[in-house]
């Protein structure tokens, strides 16, 4: 078995689709199918259940997937180590990010990073706080730009804080905000409210709960920009981080919350010392970009 077989396996496992795997990896559909059957035969294990809806991992297949991801991560580090010895800088990065960060931070960061490191390819994947944490834990991404969960305790990942981001009340333009410099959270009581899907981000629900505010939860969405559009169209009020509305401020009204709540933005990662050379290079670049002194990183 070679690393290409493992790459095919991981792609099939993540997409549940042989034809899509063949298309994105540049193989024939029959070639991918034969490769997976050959892998199962060599291992003496059934990795997939095949039905008319596609292919799905067996319980053994799910366990095998975790091992293969770890193996591929180590292989990537080895390849980068060899290239670095030769004085060549190459590699690939899989980066997770909240949508507000991928829209407002990462385009400029990646553009500047690419100027200095043109041979490192970057794949960006958006998700919610829970998604991002799990993707890092399961090695689906190398690291993730995320928000530190309000209830975050005893986490197994390292978190590098970068910035804080204030939560704001977002309101339709016709909402009367005369003489209001902030928005008391108690004013959400009885109001129609659009809440982020709790599986995506439960921090706003926790804020309302802590302040004993009881709006009417009429709609939910995993997408910040869908929430903005619903508020703009008068379907309700909401709370979002200020970064999420940075490019949308002319579409609605917004006010700081009273009391004030902030989220801590940063990077979730496994132990820094175990990251690939490309991942370490990117994180040091981000630290420089945000003027974080290396001495404050506490990364070894």
Q: Please tell me the distance from the alpha carbon of residue 289 to that of residue 292, in angstroms, as a whole number.
A: 8
The per-residue pLDDT for 298 is 55
CATH code assigned at 246: 3.40.190.290
- Of 112, 131, 108, which is closest to residue 120 (Cα–Cα)? 112
In a domain, 222, yes or no: yes
Contacts of 37 (CB under 8 A, 6+ apart): none
Average of per-residue pLDDT across 18-45? 90
Percent with pLDDT over 70 in the chain: 92
In a domain, 177, yes or no: yes
In a domain, 229, yes or no: yes
Tokens representing 117?
Answer: 């490191």
Residue pair 198/205 in contact by the 8 Å Cβ criterion: yes
Q: Please tell me the distance from the alpha carbon of residue 272 to that of residue 238, in angstroms, as a whole number.
A: 37
**Residues recorded for the chain:** 300
Burial zone of 296 (CB within 10 Å; 0-12 exposed, 13-18 middle, 19+ buried):
exposed
The per-residue pLDDT for 154 is 46
The per-residue pLDDT for 300 is 43
Burial zone of 13 (CB within 10 Å; 0-12 exposed, 13-18 middle, 19+ buried):
buried
Structural domain boundaries enclosing 175: 165-263
In a domain, 256, yes or no: yes
Contacts of 81 (CB under 8 A, 6+ apart): 277
End of a domain among 74, 91, 119?
74
Residue 18 has phi, psi (to 5 degrees) of -70, -40
Measured at the CA of 157, the angle between CA 152 and CA 158, to 5 degrees, comes to 95
Residue pair 229/266 in contact by the 8 Å Cβ criterion: no
Measured at the CA of 40, the angle between CA 36 and CA 136, to 5 degrees, comes to 70
The pLDDT tens digits of the residues spanning 230-259 come to 999 999 999 999 999 998 988 999 999 999
pTM over 0.95: no
Which 3-state string (H, E, C) describes 212-245? CCCCEEEEEECCHHHHHHHHHCCCCEEEEEHHHH
Number of domains in the chain: 2
In a domain, 152, yes or no: no
Q: Check whether 297 has a pLDDT greater than 90.
A: no
In a domain, 137, yes or no: no
Mean pLDDT over all residues of the chain? 89
End of a domain among 74, 98, 121?
74
The pLDDT tens digits of the residues spanning 206-225 come to 999 999 999 999 899 988 99
Q: Please tell me the distance from the alpha carbon of residue 148 to that of residue 150, in angstroms, as a whole number.
A: 6
pLDDT band with cut points at 50, 70 and 90 for residue 277: confident
Average of per-residue pLDDT across 124-131? 92
Q: Check whether 276 has a pLDDT greater than 90.
A: no
Axis-axis angle for helices 277-289, 106-116 (nearest 10)? 120
The pLDDT tens digits of the residues spanning 10-22 come to 999 988 999 989 9
| Three-class SS state of 100 | helix
In a domain, 107, yes or no: no
Q: Please tell me the distance from the alpha carbon of residue 108 to that of residue 114, in angstroms, as a whole number.
A: 10
CATH code assigned at 6: 1.10.10.10
In a domain, 287, yes or no: no
Dihedral (Cα; 130, 132, 136, 141), 10-degree rounding = 150
């Amino acid at each position: 078995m070679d690393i290409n077989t493992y790459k095919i396996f991981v792609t099939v496992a993540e997409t549940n689709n042989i034809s899509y795997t063949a298309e994105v990896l540049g193989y024939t559909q029959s070639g991918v199918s034969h490769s997976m059957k050959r892998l199962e035969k060599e291992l003496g294990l059934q990795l997939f259940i095949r039905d008319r809806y596609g292919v799905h991992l067996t319980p053994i297949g799910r366990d095998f997937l975790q091992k293969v991801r770890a193996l591929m991560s180590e292989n990537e580090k080895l390849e980068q180590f060899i290239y670095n010895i030769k004085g060549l800088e190459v590699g690939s990065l899989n980066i997770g990010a909240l949508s507000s960060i991928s829209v407002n931070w990462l385009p400029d960061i990646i553009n500047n990073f690419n100027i200095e490191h043109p041979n490192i390819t970057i794949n960006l994947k958006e998700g919610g706080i829970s998604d991002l944490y799990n993707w890092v834990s399961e090695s689906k991404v190398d690291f993730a730009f995320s928000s530190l969960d309000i209830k975050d305790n005893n986490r197994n990942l390292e978190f590098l804080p970068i910035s804080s981001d204030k939560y704001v009340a977002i309101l339709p333009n016709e909402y009367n905000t005369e003489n209001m410099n902030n928005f008391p959270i108690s004013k959400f009581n009885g109001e129609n409210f659009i809440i982020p899907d709790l599986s995506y981000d439960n921090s706003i629900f926790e804020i309302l709960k802590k302040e004993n505010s009881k709006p009417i939860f009429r709609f939910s969405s995993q997408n910040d920009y869908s929430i903005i559009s619903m508020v703009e169209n008068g379907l309700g009020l909401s709370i979002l981080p200020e970064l999420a509305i940075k490019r949308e401020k002319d579409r609605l009204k917004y006010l700081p919350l009273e009391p004030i709540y902030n989220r801590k933005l940063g990077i979730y990662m496994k132990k820094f010392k175990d990251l690939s050379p490309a991942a370490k290079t990117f994180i040091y670049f981000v630290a420089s970009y945000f003027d974080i002194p290396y001495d404050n990183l506490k990364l070894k």
